Amino acid sequence: MRAVRLIVGGATGKTGAEVVRYLAGQDDLQVVGAVGRQHQGADLGALLGWPALSGVPISASVGHVPAEADVYVDFTAPEVAVALAMEAVGRAMRVLIGTSGLEPQSVSLLAAQVQRQSLAAAVIPNFSVGAVLQRKMALELGRRFGRVEVVEGHHRSKRDAPSGTARDLASALEAMGVETAVHSLRLEGLVARQEVWAGGPGEVISLTHEVTSRQAYGAGVAMAARQLVTVSGFFTSLEELCPALTARD
Ligand SMILES: NC(=O)c1ccc[n+]([C@@H]2O[C@H](COP(=O)([O-])OP(=O)(O)OC[C@H]3O[C@@H](n4cnc5c(N)ncnc54)[C@H](OP(=O)(O)O)[C@@H]3O)[C@@H](O)[C@H]2O)c1
């Protein structure tokens, strides 16, 4: 079977660079193009010092990537991610967006276009497996205790607050009628951390998930990309796109 061909937007960024390193090690996936701003025309492998990615050019937009691909993966910035995804859909590609802080209206337009073309797209707030499991347990805490507080902390250069992961969890809890509060920390030394707290008479419980390296996202992106080429529709979480992740045996 031929490998799933990927274009990665933001492949030179903090997250994108770790993700493409992981993807380059997967036999059934092939990074064929990259999108970036400052290094257009450069060779991704040479730039990242990763020979498996040599020959992959960095282009100004998805439309400028010379190779054909099956999936566009985006870790860029909120003001450009949906426009790049729309270009990918225009090339009949499936789309996987990791970028957070997107305008809900532009996401709705993307979803509508994807449905019209019978393609598939997913906007995933968190690609790490631990975060998916924490979300599942947090919903259970909400059901049992009726009130949940979320404390999310990220590195200082993160532009959106609260994080996409915390917003997604808060809206799922609120939809269940759970009283929810979210607190954000932006500190040097943090990569990404989320605590979920609940309390009842005489007890408190907290669940902590911490990303200590952005390597945590690679496996989730690979899983999502493999799944995306087998489905159509619009997905808003890793567990919705890949139900096997949280299914019981
Ligand atoms: N869903 C998840 O699991 C997850 C995990 C981690 C991060 N994220 C999200 O992913 C996004 C990226 O985070 P990061 O920390 O990796 O950011 P970053 O280090 O600033 O990297 C951003 C990347 O996007 C590129 N870029 C920015 N503006 C662009 C434009 N107009 N056109 C083309 N390329 C552009 C940058 O290229 P230049 O350097 O050339 O400008 C860079 O390669 C954020 O929204 C973050 O919240 C999501």
- 138's tokens: 């947090």
Write out pLDDT tens, residues 194-247.
999 999 999 999 999 999 999 999 999 999 999 999 999 999 999 999 998 888
Strand bridging mode 203-211 / 147-154: unpaired
- Which ligand 1 atom is nearest residue 220's CA? 3
> What is the predicted pLDDT for the residue at 207?
98
| 187 CA → ligand 1 middle, Å | 18
Q: Once rounded to an integer, what is the mean pLDDT over residues 31-39?
A: 97
Q: In whole numbers, what is the pLDDT of the chain averaged over residues?
A: 96
- Rounded to whole angstroms, the Cα distance separating 224 from 246 reads 14
User: CB of 16 closer than 6 A to ligand 1?
Assistant: yes
H helices, E strands: number in the chain? 8, 11
Residue 249 pLDDT grade (very low, low, confident, very high; cuts 50, 70, 90): low
Q: What pTM does this model have? A: 0.93
- Positions marked catalytic: 154, 158
Both structure tokens of 50: 């990763």
234 lines ligand 1 (CB under 6 A): no
Domains of the chain and CATH, by start: 4-123+215-245 (3.40.50.720), 129-212 (3.30.360.10)
Instruction: Tell me how crowded residue 202 is: count the other CB atoms within 10 A of its CB.
Output: 5
